[in-house]
Amino acid sequence: MKTETTQITKLLISDLMGEPYKLDPVTVIIEDLGVRAEIGDHKTRQGKIIIECYGRSWTAYWGSMGDRTVAQFFNDCNADYLIGCLARSLSPSRFSGQALVELARKTIICRRQGWRHRNLEFMFLDKEECRELYDQTDELSNADTPERAVDWHFDLLCKIFDTEEPWYFACDATEPNPGYQYLQRIVQAVQAGLLQAGLAMGKVAA
């Protein structure tokens, strides 16, 4: 058995209900695990972070932060990279049935006016065809994934997008992901909190 002690810092960031964060209090637990490798004067440190807000938590470990603490490393990185570490499956955008409705309507208008869309040439729609398809676009709003959109409305999507493979158009029907934006605000609050606490500045103690 081997037992070691590590340096842990806990930070509570509160008073975040106003702009730009609009968040409940955020708890941050930082664990600096020390030097992982040392070559000459060059040190590579490792550590992890746990972030908790309103009953949800995210964690990430970094094994090669250079000669920086977790707090310094966290503040040196951009929010998109950090979100990718904290929540790997979280995407900045997500499929939306309403976005599919808007994309379908835009395409119908493009076809009616003879415009190009997605660098593709569509067959022209006359006035009656345009009105008939446009009136049916509301049906598309009930789909919550591209798969269901294609499965439930295949024939309609084929007619609207002038293709037998409407999948590619359905995948384009996206909107900003609120979950991603939420975590983005949390990351930004943590970075600001680490700076305010003086943890992200200065040199690492030897």
Which tens digit of pLDDT belongs to each residue from 58-83? 999 999 999 999 999 999 999 999 99
User: Cis peptide leading into 178, omega within 30 of 0?
Assistant: no
pLDDT number for residue 36: 86
Q: What is the pTM of this model?
A: 0.82
Give the position of tokens 């990185």. 77
Task: Give whole-number Cα distances, 117 to 11, 16, 61, 112, 159, in Å.
Answer: 50, 43, 43, 12, 15
Q: How many helices (H) and strands (E) in the chain?
A: 7, 6
Decide: 171 and 99 in contact? Cβ < 8 Å: no
The candidate with the shortest Cα–Cα distance to 42, out of 17, 58, 64, 25, is 64
Of residues 152 and 113, the one with the higher pLDDT is: 152
Question: Is residue 28 pLDDT above 80, yes or no?
Answer: yes
- Phi and psi at 51, nearest 5°, equal -120, 130
Question: Is residue 7 pLDDT above 90, yes or no?
Answer: no
